[in-house]
A and B are shown apart, each in its own frame.
Chain A
Amino acid sequence: MVELSLKARRGSFHLDIECRLAAPWTVVFGPSGAGKSTLLRLIAGLDRLARPDSGHIAIQDQLVSDTITGTHLRPGKREVGLVAQQPALFPHLSVAENAAYGLTDISRQARAQRVSDMLELVGAASLADRSPRALSGGEAQRIALARALAPMPRLLLLDEPLSALDAEARDQILTRLQNWLSERAIQTILVTHDAADALATQAEVVVLREGKLAALGPAAEVLSAEHKRLKARLNIG
């Protein structure tokens, strides 16, 4: 469970959110500039200013950031994986070395096995020896996903992570990923500005507008207006 009580000002933008995200798969939906990515970066502890102005963030009942007690765990200590639209692969390391970067406390053999499993999961097993420079956008995003999953985070944050893939490949990977994550009880928060992504899952949906929480609940309920708009656009009854 992720508990958020955040107030953060970044220039003229205000983020003001208070909620508990308990579902295994939560979709954060909202238009561009609603504060979705800022929210994920605050949870990961990566925001440029790193800390919210006031409030706290708890992951599985552990406070990772709290302005009252001055708690602020550094990103690597939060056990959080983040995959953003921009894959940010280390260009001087091979695909396999990228995937292994977060694996430091396990044996060489276990590391190799984990990397192989992760690359298999994202359908990129054949790319292990390639350089990131030789990858397409979609391939790079898959590797970034494998790299984030390899250390087995307790919370996975996905910021439109497969945007460079076509819809069919994206749905395939997401379905496989959802099963894999639910087997391991890894909670996931997926950011999207595409209502179809949110409606395609049985997820809990958080709607953000101008940095504020506009709605929280099941996708079909919260996004009913979006649902009708999409149906009308596709001329479906």
Chain B
Amino acid sequence: MDWQALALTLKLAAITTAILLCIAIPLAAWLALGRSRWRVLAEAVTGLPLVLPPTVLGFYLLVLLGPRTGFGRTINILLGHPLAFSFAGLVVGSVIYSFPFAVQPIVAGFAAIDSSLIDAARLLGAGPVRLIRTVLVPLAGRSLLTAAILSFLHTLGEFGVVLMLGGDIPGATRTLSIVLFNQVEGFDYTAANRTALTLLVFCVLALILVYARPASLNAGWSGNRQNREDRRDG
């Protein structure tokens, strides 16, 4: 087992997930509750990584972050090194690649919250930040957990973007998927089997966590809805 690659993969997945949640929560609130005409465009752009081949995304990111573009040169000057073929570059690529897996469950969670609760908070003076912090996030706990797990798993298994953008640098950009690819290419099926099994076990355990649906998360919201139904019946 390539422990260095495993540690790097987990680190990449954890950092990507944390960044994604920070970006996805406010964006999802805007997508779920906003009325802007730009919403449709934002939704389309957000969902793009779902249908775009990872190699295409990786190629464009490689070009964008490389020395051929003004953006890439600026980053190079600011950081002292190019983002392409670095761990930081992988994080950027992973965040973009896993974007819909974080945003879409959270949008669904926010959109399912009873609109009268959101109206009540707004009327009581809650601005967007307070609304997200005190109403949306606490009531969409399960969706946030789903988003976090899906983002983590999706990053864990990504290959195309990593290979295009990061190459295969041990300790910097060599993730488990790249290790698996190398093992298969070298006909070392025993090692490949161990690596694949590690990824498989991680994914199955995480998905069990998603489908187990902890009762404490979202219990308040669903309980409230149940309450209203009870009142209506009674």
Contacts and interface: CB of A to CB of B under 8 A. Distances in A.
Interface in B122-161: 122-127, 134-135, 138-139
Contacts of A84: 116
Interface residues of B, number: 25
B117 interface: yes
Nearest to A50: B35
Q: Which of the listed residues A84, A91, A148 has the most CB atoms from chain B within 10 Å of its own CB?
A: A91
22 contacts: A46-B119, A75-B119, A75-B123, A76-B126, A81-B123, A82-B119, A86-B228, A88-B114, A88-B116, A88-B117, A89-B224, A90-B120, A90-B135, A91-B139, A91-B220, A91-B224, A92-B220, A132-B227, A133-B220, A133-B224, A133-B227, A148-B123
Interface in B11-66: 35
Contacts of A151: 124-125
A46 B98 CA distance: 35
A133 B221 CA distance: 10
A147 B124 contact: yes
A76 B231 contact: no
Interface in A57-92: 74-77, 80-82, 84, 86, 88-92
**Chain A interface, DSSP helix/strand/loop, else mixed:** loop
Q: Which of the listed residues B120, B126, B223 has the most CB atoms from chain A within 10 Å of its own CB?
A: B120
Nearest to B120: A88
Interface string A98-130: 000110100000000000000000000000000
Contacts of A104: 125
Contacts of B124: 76, 101-102, 147-148, 151
Contact of B127 (A76, A82, A135, A140): A76
A92 B120 contact: no
Nearest to B223: A133
Given A91-B223, A137-B231, A101 B121 contact: yes
A82 to B, nearest CB: 6
Interface string B90-120: 0000000000000000000000001011011
Contacts of A89: 224
**Chain B interface, DSSP helix/strand/loop, else mixed:** helix
Interface of A: 44, 46, 50, 74-77, 80-82, 84, 86, 88-92, 101-102, 104, 132-133, 135-137, 140, 144, 147-148, 151, 164
A75 B124 CA distance: 8
Given A74-B122, A82-B123, A88-B116, 18 more contacts: A82-B119, A88-B119, A88-B120, A90-B117, A90-B134, A91-B220, A91-B224, A92-B139, A101-B121, A102-B125, A133-B227, A135-B227, A136-B231, A137-B234, A140-B231, A144-B120, A147-B124, A164-B231
A100 to B, nearest CB: 10
A46 B122 contact: yes
Contacts of B127: 76
Nearest to A144: B120
A86 B119 CA distance: 12
Contacts of B231: 136-137, 140, 164
